[in-house]
Structure formats: structure tokens, C-alpha cells
Chains A and B, each alone.
Chain A
Amino acid sequence: MTTYFSKDHEWIAVADGVATVGITNYAQEQLGDVVYVELPDAGKELSQGDEAAVVESVKAASEVYAPIDGEVVEANEALADEPAKVNEDPEGAAWFIKIKVANAHQLTEMMDEAGYKAYVETL
């Protein structure tokens, strides 16, 4: 499994042609207490840059964009009942969606963990 990172603070873990997508620890720190997550239904076709999900903190709503093209194969239903998981375990149990990778070359434009860490330090 290889994990990629986007400049929009998403992580994308790819195994067997399926990408698990979530938001990074840096992103959850910026958002603050997450109170609601709106996820797409399985079967939805996403193009890179489409609005894939919405994260609501106490103060504001933030969009999460699809980092790559592909069909949503699963959404993390557990987040509906426990949105605070996004604050507790953003890069683990609180994944958002799984996407069937349609264009693998889009992944090569992403950062690896070291590259993302260096990017965050510039912010």
C-alpha cells in the first residue's frame, strides 16, 4: 500500500486499485471540533476537484474535493454517528471514502509523506 498526500490536505492510501481518502491531521487541527460529515453515496462518479464531502466544524463548513477521478465504492458510515472521530483518528479510522482509481497517473502528481510534511511546514 502506498500513501499519497494532496495540497488540499487529503491523504490517499492505494491498495489493489482502490484509494482510501481522508483528511490529514493538519487539516483536522485547522478545522477544530468536527460536528458533522456529509459523504457521497456509493456509486457516485467523481472527477478530480469535484466536491466529494463536506466537513462541518462548530464554526464553519469546509468542502473536501476529490483528489483523483473514480467511482465511490464505499463511504465511511461510522462518521455519521461519530463525527468527532475525524479529530481523534483522521489518518486512520476516520477515513471518508474509498474510490476505484480511474486514472493512476493522477497519483504521481501527489506528494509522499516527507513531501507533505515539508509542504505543511511552509504554511
Chain B
Amino acid sequence: MADTVADEDLKQTPLHDLHVELGARMVPFAGYSMPVQYKAGIMAEHLHTRSKAGLFDVSHMGQAFLVGPDHETTARALEALTPSNFVELGLGRQRYTVLLNDEGGIIDDLMVTRSVSEDDDGRLMLVVNAGRKDVDYAYFRDKLPENVKLEVVEDRALIAVQGPEAVAAVALHAPKAAGLGFMSASSMEFDGIDCHIARAGYTGEDGVEMSVPAGAAEAIARALLADERVEPIGLGARDSLRLEAGLCLYGHDIDETISPVDGAITFCMQKRRRENGGFPGADRIQKELVEGTDTVRVGLRIDGKAPAREGAEIAIPDGEVIGILTSGGFAPTVGAPIAMGYVLAEYTKVGTPLELIVRNRRLPATVAEMPFVPNRYYRKPKS
């Protein structure tokens, strides 16, 4: 496994020295030196996140703002590039969306947050994939109208804390975090440091993602890790957690050829946008919403213990190939191998028996409901 980038060319996050101190195995990822696992290992890190709380350095991801004169102007500029509703996004609310190319393919998937304060209205915060930063930013700069600017944030780290105990651990330092609803965000102090905290994540668990000043990132991470409930978690477990949660990984499960309908992520398209269009590739996507697509992303459970990986062919039992895996691996919480991939539309029904071809052998598998592990996102009690 030769690294294509020499170590000295890799960028480091503000938490790099802490990772090394904690015994992380560092690997190149999207141009950064990142921790794939710590001493506990992927399995233990995964299970700890599901039972208590895990701390993830996701500072490699891109943070940026779209800045316009008022909310409606900025929201309409973003709506011109995505199929989601941002005009009616509430103050302090967050939404998952996709950046579309003219063919309706997905350039990137991203989180968008409207500032909680009306004083900042006209600003939308974006968090984009590390490996797509340059592409996304160039696309925004090319497509945004004169009066809406892209402001790239270079001086902040991003720390995710995920798991059933995550918010309690964060709230000891940032009490306001406990009051956030799911997919809501606010500026607040963490031990007196100005942070922006959103109640969201990429694990299927309750938790937060915290945008923090780069210079304070290590102090914040150390304060959280001092809590016995919180352990550091690497990219390995981040991947197994998101796969169990049924969430897409850009460049694997979705890419520039895949539309939101192919990718089964039409939940990012709100009613007005589905009906009125007005986004790149709307002709294709609106047609697909009515007629369906040739292939669709599904989840698969595999009989036995042998995992199947990205690139494995999917076939009908004793028959022809009807799809391909885009993610696959052992699922620690399920206790079995799971996968996701694209199959011809007639084979998408949950319970459909299929086979995965691994090293010339056919492993029996079944189309499964996603998520593979029930989501445990926070629901605010009704008052």
C-alpha cells in the first residue's frame, strides 16, 4: 500500500500533535494526515461511540460561508445550485443538501446552517467534504451572483462528539448545547471560548459538531477527553458507523454521475423544489422523481461472516450481475457484514435475495432496510 503523497506534503489539522500523543495510526486522507484508529482499535472505538461518546477530528472538512445582503438573496443563490429549500430554513436550523452539476449529478454533499442570530442574516454556513473543497469552492465562485460571496474559513477546526453521552459531556463545558434540537445550531461559549455548535453528525447517534478556533481546538479536545465517557475515534470507525447508519460517503456511494434519485437521498429535496425545479439537472431529476431510475442505492445484509467490499458485483441467485457494491464492511454493532450498492430497480424490495461475488465465490445476501442500526437522533420533548 504505497502512499501516493509523501508525508511531508500532507496537511495537518490543529489536533495533529494530540493524535500522535494519543497513539493514533496516522494515514493520508484527502491530502491530510489523519488518524485512522487509536490504540483501542476500530471495533472498540465503534462500539464505544454507540454506547458512550466518541470524539472525532473532522477539521479536514471544508468550512465556508455564503455571504449575501439578506437571507432570501443568499438562500436563493444556494437554491440555484441545490435541490433543497433554503429560503424557508429557520434561524439556527441546519439542512443536508447536494451540490448539483448541469446533468443533475452530485458534485458534493454538504451541511448548510442558517445563523441563529438575525444580526448575521444573509450568511449560510457550509461544511463540505475534504476531498471536494477545491471543486466546490471553484463551482461556487463560478456560479454565485455578484452580490453573494464565498468566504472560506481557514482558521477554525471542526470536532464531532457523537454517542448517547456526547451532549451531556459537551454541555458540562457549553451548557447551551443541551438545549439544541436535532439539526439546530447556535454560537455559544465552551469554557469561555466562542464556538459554533450544531446538533448533528455522521454516526446515526445523538451528538454535536463543533466549529472552534484552531488555536483552542486542542484545549477543547483535551477538556472533552478528560471526561471518562469520551474516547478519541479515528476515521476507520467513522466509516463503519456511517455505513451502519445508512449514510452515503462521497466518491463511493455518490458521485458526479449519480442523481439524488439514484442515490435514494431525495429526502434532501423539499416539496417546493421537487415541484418547481430551478436547480441544475432539474429536467432529469424531476423526470426521475416520477418515472424512477434504472438503478437505485440499497442496503444489503450478507449471510455468514465474510465481508464484501466496494467494487464487488451483485447478482441474482445463480444468475446474472445486476449491480455493484459501493461500500461494504463488517458492522460491529450489527455483528455481521453489511454493504450498500446500486442494483437494477426491480431488485430493490427489502427481503429480495441476491448474491455478492467475492473472489469468484457467491455470498448470499438480502436487500435490507437502512439504517442497519436504528437512528438515535435527539427529539426535543414536546413542552
Contacts and interface: CB of A to CB of B under 8 A. Distances in A.
Interface in B20-73: 36-37, 41-44, 46
Interface residues of A, number: 14
Given A33-B42, A36-B306, A36-B307, A58 B332 contact: yes
B380 interface: no
Counting chain B CB atoms within 10 Å of each CB, which of A57, A58, A83 scores highest? A58
B305 A60 contact: no
B309 A58 contact: no
Nearest to B306: A36
A38 interface: yes
A56 B330 contact: yes
A32 B306 contact: no
A35 B359 contact: no
A53 to B, nearest CB: 11
B186 interface: no
Given A33-B42, A35-B330, A36-B330, A60 B37 contact: no
Contacts of B359: 38, 54
A105 interface: no
Contact of A60 (B41, B43, B44, B309): B309
Contacts of A80: 305
A33 B41 contact: yes
B236 interface: yes
Contacts, number: 45
A104 interface: no
Contacts of B184: none
A32 B37 contact: yes
Interface string B118-149: 00000000000000000000000000000000
Interface string A41-63: 00000000000001011111100
Contacts of A57: 42, 330
A58 B305 contact: no
Contacts of B240: 58-59
A36 B305 contact: yes
Contacts of A83: 305
Given A32-B236, A33-B42, 6 more contacts: A32-B41, A35-B305, A56-B306, A58-B46, A58-B240, A60-B309
Interface of A: 32-33, 35-36, 38, 54, 56-61, 80, 83
17 contacts: A32-B41, A32-B42, A32-B43, A33-B42, A36-B307, A36-B330, A56-B306, A56-B307, A56-B330, A58-B43, A58-B236, A58-B329, A59-B42, A59-B239, A60-B309, A61-B307, A83-B305
